Amino acid sequence: MINFKREIANQIAKTVDLDVAELESYIEIPKEEKMGDYAFPCFKLAKILKKAPPMIAAEIKERLEIDNEVFEKVEMVGGYLNFYIAPKAFIETVSKEFEVSKEKFGSKNVGEGKTVVIDYSAPNIAKPFHIGHLRSTVIGGALYNIYQFLGYHTVGVNHLGDYGTQFGKLIEGYKRWGTEYHIEENPIDELTKIYVRINKLCEEDESVLEACRNNFKKLEDGDSYCVEIWEKFRNLSLKEFQKVYDLLGSHFDSWNGEAFYSDKMGEIVEILEEKNQLVESEGARVVSLEDKGMPPCIIEKTNGSSTYATRDLAAILYRARTYDFDKALYVTSYEQVLHFKQIFEVAKMLGISEKYTNGLEHVPFGMVRLKEGKMSTREGNFIKLEDLLQEAITRAEKVIEEKNPDLENKQEVAKKVGIGAVIFNDLSNSRIKDEVFDWDLMLNFQGETGPYIQYIYVRTKSVIEKAGYLPKVEEIDFSQLEDEDSKRIFKLLYSLEDVLQQVTDKNEPSFLSRYLIDLSQSFSTFYNNHKILGEEKKVQDARLYLTNIVGTVLKTGAGLLGMQMPDRM
């Protein structure tokens, strides 16, 4: 597609002696449409040219060689130059690209030859898959899809929480009360009961807590009894987790959890010893990070067992060697910001290439909280994610029954609408914001929601089905689409590449969510203001063509977020 920013920068570069790339970086998109499609602020040139911004703007405007096929007009407002792109230019560049790309429209293949590893979801074995895990699963899944769409070799890793002192606790609880619970029939709920019970006992009796710690040390040392119980817990848990992943459509390329690195942590300790980075501290072995303004990173506990940090460092080394990554993203809550700052700093001491250490990125997100406060498996205060998703489907089905009782495949449509509502709700705001969980907000079927985008998509499908045909691009009279409503849509379609680039620059899927709402609302305005069917054929053909592009992009964009589109609602 034509790069309009580059075109503007090229024109300005002919009037001032500055680098085109630098000039392009100055160009902004005005918040108000009446201020043009692009704006060039002259304030940054004031120091260089020793002139007032309005004077610079006037001089540049006077010397510009404007191509009227591309630029409708250029206006000077104070220290800004506002550029208005000709509707025909937007239409032609978008339609040409769409004919080539179709469902891949918006992909620039910028990631070709690059690998990104995304560590996401990572629920804890033998604990409920609750709504606190929703964010990592959904945000990570969306990033996986978008990076892959942009041409990156993408590796999704489910770094399962299948190791640690919690398993020492579960093993101890199972030893004491295992026969009292029906673990085979209802594994997660029954194991949760054991976990809550043993935690209370640990709080009452320090010797029980010490026994739990020793159990984990035995597990690390390969004790046959502990390993057997651990494997049982893990296999039963994975079967339960898969039910949720099937509902969400989640996909992973690797299920290597913390336990996978149990035989790889020794190398981490050896490297840090060789580099004289390990020091004794209150019986534990740590890496001092005082010079970085951080507390020490614990590598070995007082009883010799490993820590999260040891396992994460082993994972970094393994992933660098196995995947040769350009980026390695860790999608976890912001509560772990310090942890990842520490291990990223210690990773620099492992002797691996700067390519890998520079590519490490923590992608933090806000917590999901109940109205009553923070969730805790230890206290038994949580909402299971499977229950949430099933409730979303049930509520969606109820709405569909009220609005369209004769709809075919109501249950299948309700599943797409309900799950889509939950996914979009999670991705519609900046990931760093906390969410207070509320059924009414999560499943609101009005306004800026997933179901609204699905409804607009279904409308585009319905229009095309009623027409009974799709016009060929060579038959389109694009002059029929130069009205303001159409231009707004073409402008949004043109911007998809930039939106997806912003997503990967910031690892922020909400940019795409916001884009899909804007596109849906713009098409709704177009639909209400312009009759599509029953008009003169050249008008109908042009509007049908635009309708098809919008529907295709909405389906593609929603799919990147992890949502499925129903054909009818």
The predicted model gives 178-197 an average pLDDT of 91
Residues 361 and 406 in one domain: no
Residues 360, 400, single domain; the answer is no
Residue 539 in any domain: the answer is: yes
149/281 same-domain check: yes
Same domain membership, residue 222 and residue 140: yes
Pairing assessment for the beta strands 284-287 and 278-281 based on DSSP bridges: antiparallel
Q: Is residue 567 part of a domain?
A: no
Q: Beginning with the edge strand found earlier in the chain, give each strand of the sheet holding 284-287 in spatial order.
A: 278-281, 284-287, 297-300
- Would you state the structure tokens that stand for residue 224, as one six-digit string? 């046959």
Please give the Cα distance from 258 to 235 (Å, whole number): 15
Q: Which of 151, 139, 140, 57 is nearest to 104 (CA)?
A: 151
Q: Are residues 411 and 272 in the same domain?
A: no
Confidence class of residue 371 from pLDDT cuts 50, 70 and 90? low
Contacts of 420 (CB under 8 A, 6+ apart): 450, 451, 453, 454, 558, 563, 564
Mean pLDDT of the region 124-131: 85
Supply the pLDDT for residue 148: 98
Is residue 109, in this structure, part of any structural domain at all? no
Residues 431, 513, single domain; the answer is yes
Let me know whether 334 and 264 are in one domain.
Answer: yes
Choice among 163-172, 274-283, 506-515, 517-526 with the minimum mean pLDDT: 163-172
pLDDT at 129: 86
User: Is the CB of residue 424 less than 8 Å from the CB of residue 449?
Assistant: yes
Q: Are 375 and 369 in contact (CB under 8 A)?
A: yes
Residue 545: exposure state from Cβ atoms within 10 A (0-12, 13-18, ≥19): buried
Q: Which amino acid is at 533?
A: L
Longest dimension (CA), the chain: 87
Closest by CA position to 519, among listed 549, 498, 541: 549
The catalytic residues are 127, 130, 133
Q: Are residues 333 and 465 in the same domain?
A: no
Contact 562, 141 (CB under 8 A): yes
Residue 550 in any domain: the answer is: yes
The residue type of 269 is V
Identify whether residues 225 and 318 lie together within a single domain.
yes
Residue 403 confidence class, pLDDT cut points 50, 70, 90? confident
Tell which of 66, 85, 104 closes a domain. 85
CB 139 within 8 A of CB 103: no
Mean pLDDT, the chain, integer? 93
Cβ atoms of 148 and 116 closer than 8 Å: no
Place of tokens 């899809």: 145
Q: How far, in Å, CA of 413 to CA of 409, rounded?
A: 6
Sheet with 38-41, side-by-side order of all strands = 38-41, 80-85, 71-77
Cα-trace Rg, the chain: 28
In 10 A of CB 86, how many CB atoms? 18
- Whether the CB-CB separation of 476 and 96 falls below 8 Å is answered with no
| CATH assignment of the domain containing 208 | 3.40.50.620
C-alpha count within 13 angstroms, C-beta hemisphere, residue 82: 13
Give the CATH number for residue 556.
Answer: 1.10.730.10
Question: Could you tell me which of 363, 555, 331 has the C-alpha nearest to residue 450?
Answer: 555
Q: Which residue type sits at 155?
A: V
**Run of H or E residues at 207:** helix 206-220
Residue 258 structure tokens: 């913390």
Residue 462, domain extent = 385-561
pLDDT tens digits for 304-334?
A: 888 999 999 999 999 999 999 999 999 999 9
CA–CA gap between residue 392 and residue 375 (Å, rounded): 20
Digit-coded pLDDT (tens) for 129-143: 888 789 999 999 999
Per-residue pLDDT at 280 exceeds 80:
yes
Asked if residue 365 lies in contact with residue 430, where contact means CB atoms within 8 angstroms, the answer is: no
pLDDT attached to residue 126: 85
Residues 457 and 415 in one domain: yes
Instruction: Please report the pLDDT score of residue 375 as a whole number.
Output: 52
Per-residue pLDDT tens over the stretch 204-231: 999 999 999 999 889 988 999 999 999 9
Q: Is the pLDDT of residue 388 over 90?
A: no
**Beta carbons of 120 and 156 less than 8 angstroms apart:** yes
Amino acid at the residue 21: A
Structure tokens at 526: 């177009």
Please name the amino acid found at residue 35: M
Last residue of a domain, one of 85, 107, 125: 85
Are 557 and 430 in a shared domain? yes
Which residues make Cβ contacts (< 8 Å) with residue 345, sequence separation at least 6?
289, 292, 294, 297
Q: Are residues 135 and 41 in the same domain?
A: no
Q: What is the three-state SS of 270-332?
A: HHHHHCCCEEEECCEEEECCHHHCCCCEEEECCCCCECHHHHHHHHHHHHHHHHCCCEEEEEE
Q: Tell me whether residue 569 is in a domain.
A: no
In a domain, 265, yes or no: yes
Q: Name the domain boundary from 29, 64, 85.
A: 85
Q: Is the pLDDT of residue 185 over 90?
A: no
Question: Which pLDDT does position 248 carry in this prediction?
Answer: 96
- The predicted model gives 384-406 an average pLDDT of 90
Residue 341 has pLDDT above 60, yes or no: yes
Q: Please give the angle made by the CA atoms of 352, 356 and 357, to the nearest 5 degrees.
A: 80
DSSP secondary-structure letter at 110? T
Find the CATH number of the domain harbouring 50.
Answer: 3.30.1360.70
Q: Give the chain's domain count.
A: 3
- CB count within 10 Å of CB 471 equals 18
Q: Does 206 reside within a domain?
A: yes
Q: Which residues pair with 373 in a beta bridge?
A: 370
Taking only the tens place, the pLDDT of each residue in 244-259 is 999 999 999 999 999 9
* Residue 375, in any domain of the structure: no
In a 3-state reduction of DSSP, which class is residue 149? helix
pLDDT at residue 439 greater than cutoff 90:
no
Residues 26-60 have pLDDT tens digits of 999 998 989 999 999 999 899 889 999 999 999 99
Query: What are 331's strand-pairing partners?
Result: 363
Mean pLDDT over 138-165 rounds to 96
pLDDT of residue 367: 84
User: DSSP assignment of 369-433, as one string?
Assistant: EBTTB--BTTTTB--BHHHHHHHHHHHHHHHHHHH-TT-TTHHHHHHHHHHHHHHHHHHSS-TTS
Taking residue 319's Cβ as centre, other Cβ atoms within 10 Å add up to 22
User: In the beta sheet, which residues pair with residue 345?
Assistant: none
Q: How confident is the model at residue 372 (pLDDT cuts 50, 70, 90)?
A: low
For residues 403 and 73, the model is more confident at 73
Q: Is the predicted pLDDT of residue 495 greater than 90, yes or no?
A: yes
Task: Convert the pLDDT of each residue in 411-424 to its tens digit.
Answer: 999 999 999 999 99
